[in-house]
Chain A
Amino acid sequence: MNIIETEDLSFVYGQGTPFEKKANDKLNIQIKEGEFIGIIGHTGSGKSTLVQMLNGLIKPTSGTVKLCGEDIWAAPKEIRKIRFKVGLVFQYPEYQLFEETVEKDIAYGPGNMGLSDEEIQQRVRLAARFAGLKDELLKKSPFDLSGGEKRRAAIAGVIAMDPDVLILDEPTAGLDPSGRDVLLAQIKQYHDERKNTVLLVSHSMEDIARTADRILVMNKGRAAMLEDTQTVFSRGDELEKMGLRVPQVTKVMSRLREMGYNLPSGILTVEQAANELQNLLGKR
């Protein structure tokens, strides 16, 4: 079943002014329940506008967003409920922390949903576990945490609303390699356990290659591709024309393939590449 579906979804910034700019132009996207989607595209390709339209923060200029088959703007006064179902984690989410304790901050979203105290507590614990935050951190001030922990606490604040769709905009930006690995593993694990739909916006092709089932490629406000990860990354030339890259190991393998080596296309990880090369060497 399609959990998210868009029909001719468009958004124009500054309509009617000389600065008019089409951020999204007639997008038709279908995302199935339980998928892990990577969203890539250079800055200004319309990724941010798209994800904000998916949870009703931005109202489309024309076209519709359907969540479970229903237009999210059917009842504009109920738009807040959509935001509980489609959780959006912005870039550098640690900059929105504001409560005295981590616990209270994570509880802000569930509190806005009008849940009972017990249920809020339960959700806070669960979200903290999904985000890999130890219990003793919950009583601390969010501002005493390390950079990586702050980031995960902020993400927990959205996970605690238990959304059916979780969208993360550049969740690893600015983290060091180990912080990045921990966070990605945590998101992946959350997806596996909670079995909901995750949309990950990232500039890091390596991150996308490691996590996504399918990739949405945005270019100039349009959906240039929406295919499985292997297929997208085997089209390296097209991506390059859009100012995008493929993971380094994918590039190495496709270059060798072009040189006549018998290798499959769309290799995504170092492990895969090592296995393929081993096969090839072993044959001789």
Chain B
Amino acid sequence: MLKDITLGQFLPGDSPVHRLDPRAKILLLIAVIVFIFITGNYISLALVGVFIIAVILFTKISLKMYLKSMKMILFIVLFTGLINLFYGKGEPLVQLGIFTITEAGINNAIFVTVRIALLILASSVLTFTTSPTDLTDAVERLLKPLTVFHIKVHEVAMMMTIALRFVPTLLEETDKIMSAQKARGADMDSGNLIKRVKALIPVLIPLFLSAFRRASDLAIAMECRCYQGGSGRTRMKTLHYGKIDAYGAAICLVLLTGVILCNIFLPATVR
């Protein structure tokens, strides 16, 4: 059951999107997120939307997977949309008790919902097409300039790597401990909230202890393998920007121009 979580899952493949340099992918994702939020009217929003859907089709990953990743956060998306519906200023269109719905409210709701949905879809493209190790690698290299400000970029990236490595192990362990305590009659599926939280203690304590034990083992293993932090370290895989990344950047530039033109020459729907 715990193993079924698919958010942030990597789905190996050989599409052009997969082949982009992970650093390029992160930078382009940031760019696209900015585009999503500077869209001012339906046309520019649609433009970004069509672009993201086109990229999704390019990844050759089944649409089902994208919908699945949406499903997990659907509630939050709809909730935020709903709240925005009642917060528009101007002429009320409908009056429901204390709630008033205005045209601006409807526009806001649609924009917020679509924006968050696009944001999730775009992020999913990154996580679906990039292996976790490539991602942490890319983050480490992109943030490297920050070391000037004494930010421990390598250490943070190392922590991410280790966390990624141990997430499945600890999930499996949680399942095992839960089964073991259930075999001793633990009741985790009934009772009120307080009772349920209490029932978790016999799972959480062994889980923490196990995590600490693993951490101390790992520390020894890393020292045995001559780990001395980031300085003097080389990497087996080196990242190179290629032609495909240049194409990616070019396409994004075109998109940016489109969005800006739409914003300038068409009336703004929001703000």
Contacts and interface: CB of A to CB of B under 8 A. Distances in A.
Interface of A: 52, 55, 57, 80, 83-84, 87-90, 93, 95-98, 108-109, 112-113, 143, 157-158, 161
16 contacts: A52-B179, A57-B179, A57-B182, A83-B183, A87-B183, A90-B176, A90-B179, A95-B176, A95-B177, A96-B180, A96-B184, A98-B201, A112-B186, A112-B187, A113-B185, A158-B184
Interface of B is mostly: helix
B211 to A, nearest CB: 11
Contact of B185 (A83, A89, A90): A83
Contact of B183 (A57, A95, A98, A113): A57
A95 B210 contact: yes
Contacts of B205: 98
Interface residues of B, number: 17
B184 A109 contact: yes
Contacts of B145: none
Contacts of A83: 182-185
Contact of A96 (B185, B187, B206): B206
Contacts of B187: 80, 112
B69 interface: no
Given A96-B202, A96-B206, 14 more contacts: A57-B179, A83-B182, A90-B179, A95-B209, A96-B184, A98-B206, A108-B184, A108-B202, A109-B184, A112-B184, A112-B186, A113-B185, A143-B209, A158-B183
A80 B183 CA distance: 8
Contact of A161 (B180, B185, B201): B185
Q: Is the interface of A mostly helix, strand, loop or mixed?
A: helix
A96 B177 contact: yes
A109 B183 CA distance: 8
Contacts of A55: 183
Nearest to B203: A98
Contacts of B186: 112
B127 interface: no
B41 interface: no
A125 B155 CA distance: 50
Contacts of B210: 95
Interface in B222-249: none
A80 B185 contact: yes
Contacts of A157: 184
A55 B180 CA distance: 11
Given A98-B201, A98-B202, A98-B205, A93 B185 contact: no
B182 A96 contact: no
Given A108-B202, A112-B187, A90 B180 contact: yes
A90 B181 CA distance: 10
A136 B183 CA distance: 27
B185 A112 contact: yes
A263 to B, nearest CB: 43
B179 A161 contact: no
A184 B96 CA distance: 73
A83 B189 CA distance: 15
Contacts of A109: 184-185
Contacts of B201: 98
Contacts of B185: 80, 83-84, 108-109, 112-113, 161
A283 to B, nearest CB: 53
Most-contacted residue by chain B among A52, A95, A108, A113 (CB, 10 A): A95
